[in-house]
């Protein structure tokens, strides 16, 4: 099985790259996000590889990091998620955002991926919610705060700050994480405006 390839970019396709490794051209399928990170043709590149062996074909899937490959494997443990859908999800959500979306039960974020409808997004979030922290360093306060916010148990300044950041165009997982970090820095008695200002600084980092 191939776990990693290092070579020269030969050419690009719509959803794949041909990587020249000492004269052998490997066709490696990648997410749009991974393809965008790769250098132009003629330059060196390295990809973490997941090999799928079928009766009629051997397919190689390439990732910019081992963490992204781990998520690719994990996503396919959900019924209805194959390699194509898993790549589509990773194409719109980097591992950190995906982990946050699962931990905060944000079905809308997952449903942004092509081919992922509301029902499948709900199933992905439900089945993987407890596995998300194992794949990313999510602050437990973020998960707790998200749960409180959903149940309207979070303090009103916290709820208002999260809503304000979401209204400014930030995704809910990012807004929750930013406000959680702000609460940790400013204290649980912080006012809404202070949380918003601090949250915007967190998001700008």
Domain architecture of the chain: domains with CATH:
4-63 (2.40.50.140), 67-135 (1.10.150.20), 140-204 (no CATH)
Q: At what angle do helices 95-103 and 118-128 cross, to 10 degrees?
A: 90
Q: Which helix (H) or strand (E) holds 148?
A: helix 140-150
pLDDT confidence of residue 28: 96
d(CA 120, CA 111): 8
pLDDT confidence of residue 151: 40
Which residue, 91, 45, 47, is CA-closest to 71?
91
pLDDT confidence of residue 145: 56
**pTM for this prediction:** 0.66
pLDDT, block means (10 residues), the chain with 205 residues: 92 94 96 92 95 90 90 92 94 82 82 91 87 53 52 72 85 78 83 89 78
pLDDT confidence of residue 1: 79
pLDDT confidence of residue 95: 79
Q: At what angle do helices 95-103 and 140-150 cross, to 10 degrees?
A: 50
């Amino acid at each position: 099985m191939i776990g990693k390839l290092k070579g020269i970019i030969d050419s690009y396709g719509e959803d794949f790259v041909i990587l020249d490794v000492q004269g052998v051209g490997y066709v490696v399928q990648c997410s749009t996000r991974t393809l965008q990170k790769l250098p132009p043709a003629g330059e060196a590149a390295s990809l973490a590889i997941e090999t799928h062996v079928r009766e009629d074909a051997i397919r190689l899937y390439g990732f910019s990091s081992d963490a992204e490959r781990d998520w690719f494997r994990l996503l396919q443990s959900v019924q209805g998620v194959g390699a194509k859908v898993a790549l589509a999800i990773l194409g719109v959500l980097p591992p950190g955002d995906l982990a946050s979306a699962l931990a905060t039960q944000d079905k809308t974020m997952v449903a942004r991926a092509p081919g992922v409808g509301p029902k499948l997004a709900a199933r992905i979030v439900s089945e993987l919610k407890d596995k998300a922290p194992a794949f990313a360093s999510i602050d437990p306060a973020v998960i707790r705060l998200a749960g409180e916010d959903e149940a309207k148990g979070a303090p009103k300044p916290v709820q208002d700050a999260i809503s304000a950041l979401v209204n400014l165009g930030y995704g809910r997982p990012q807004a929750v994480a930013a406000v959680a970090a702000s609460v940790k820095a400013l204290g649980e008695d912080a006012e809404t405006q202070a949380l918003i200002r601090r949250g915007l600084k967190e998001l700008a980092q």
